[in-house]
Amino acid sequence: MKKIIYFIVFFLYSGYYAVLALLISFNLVSFSRYITVPLRLATSGLMVYVILNVGISNNNFFKKKNDLLLIIIWNVFFIKVLVEFNIGTSLLRSWYEYLFYCINFCVLPYFMFSKLNFTKYKDVILNATIFSGFVLGCISLFLYRDLLIMGVGRISEAAYLDNKIETISPLALSYCSVLTIALSVYQLLFQKGINLKFKYYYYVNIVLSFIMFFLGASRGSVIALFFSILIFYFFTNKKVKTKIIKLILISIPLIIIGVIKTKSLVFERIFNSSSKVNIDNFGRGDLWRLAFKDFVNNPFFGGHIELINIPGYRDGMAGNIYPHNMILEVFMSSGLFIGLLFITVIIINFKKIFYLVKNNNENIWVFIIFIQSFTQHMFTGSIYTAVLFFFTLGLISAIKFDYKTIY
């Protein structure tokens, strides 16, 4: 069963993007769905299998509360999708795609991981997540080494050099990189008796991940990495704090050299708030304002599930897009009540993982994934593809604790 869980975790996030990067590099974009959809169906089937066969009795007060709130939120989303389809709203995807993505990226990961014996499978989950990042790093170095040497600044800029060049999303590279960096550092700091071979493995993983980080050049991933460093610092003892400070002091000049050599736009994008979502006239702030306006116009039941006919968004033409902020997206699409329920889910899960790590930092890596996934989906992505976020909510639910000390 551990092999099945390893397979699921590997292709849940970074491993999936590794497959996608290979397909894009071989000019198989139009063919990619014949690979990625069966892969998603396979992971869905395996998650259902695990839920039915490996799940343990974990129906404590916390999990019941989490389950109830999420079931309400997801059911409202399903109803909204079907309503949009019936009234003839022109959407980005077909109605069944929204349902499939939500089930595969959100519903099944949450329920599967929330039912697992966390103590038994935590090492499998952690190792699979790190290794998937390693594989993506190797593939990225192999595929984009020329772009790295040329100093394109950001991988998406390659299209300006040659419009025939297609690459994976820079956001995918960037967020996968900071996740792998943080988890590799966790292993180096917290794994006892780690041998030299694995030390080299984690250091190489960090280097490969920084290469992806330079190529991705995302502001949100910088914030995610910053929060991870804060978590490491504030929830560890003095000995580990000293190691962290030394690691930061060594890393800073190396990162600066890396940015200069690769001409990465990561720092430029941090200090340039006008960077755009696409090659268009819209930035994140514009999308957020439009989403908030939609919510104000439809405060009780919400409006559309995505922003409709944004002028000049897609290559000078009107198009639909999600707000790139999951909280605003829920309020915009489902209204005040569901939005407040979603915030409640975030708060209670943050409260639990904060308490757990404060009293025992053994599971600090779960907190790191949670804060990184939350940060990511406050800047990019849609709620129905927030796989890392709901995966982490499942892990938090699976960790046993005395809830009476919190509630």
Which residues make Cβ contacts (< 8 Å) with residue 15, sequence separation at least 6?
A: 132, 135, 136
Cβ neighbours around 354 below 10 Å, total:
15
Structure tokens at 226: 């910053």
CA distance 256 to 193: 32
Residues of the chain under the 70 pLDDT cut? 55-62, 156-165, 270-282, 311-318, 401-407
The DSSP annotation for 154-179 comes to SGGGHHHH-TT-----HHHHHHHHHH
| Residue 49, pLDDT score | 93
| Residue 314, pLDDT score | 56
Which residues make Cβ contacts (< 8 Å) with residue 87, sequence separation at least 6?
A: none
Look up residue 283 and give its DSSP letter: B
Q: Where are the alpha helices (DSSP H) in 54-151?
A: 61-86, 95-102, 108-115, 118-150
| Residue 318, pLDDT score | 60
The DSSP annotation for 203-237 comes to HHHHHHHHHHHHHH--HHHHHHHHHHHHHHHHTS-
CA distance 375 to 202: 24
Look up residue 276 and give its DSSP letter: B
CA distance 201 to 208: 11
CA distance 256 to 266: 11
pTM of the model: 0.90
Cβ neighbours around 270 below 10 Å, total:
14
Q: Could you report the per-residue pLDDT of 116-126, keeping only the tens digit for each?
A: 989 899 999 99
Task: Map out the domains of the chain as residue ranges.
Answer: 60-115+279-407
Q: Could you report the per-residue pLDDT of 55-105, keeping only the tens digit for each?
A: 555 555 567 788 899 999 999 999 999 999 998 888 888 999 999 999 999
| Residue 405, pLDDT score | 47
CA distance 359 to 45: 37
Structure tokens at 249: 């002091």
The SS3 assignment for 13 reads: coil
| Residue 280, pLDDT score | 44
Report how far Cα 110 is from the mean position of its chain's Cα atoms: 14
Structure tokens at 184: 């590799």
The SS3 assignment for 274 reads: coil
| Residue 406, pLDDT score | 47
Question: Packing angle between helix 326-334 and helix 61-86, nearest 10 degrees?
Answer: 60
Q: Is the dihedral of CA 123, 108, 368, 55 positive or negative?
A: negative
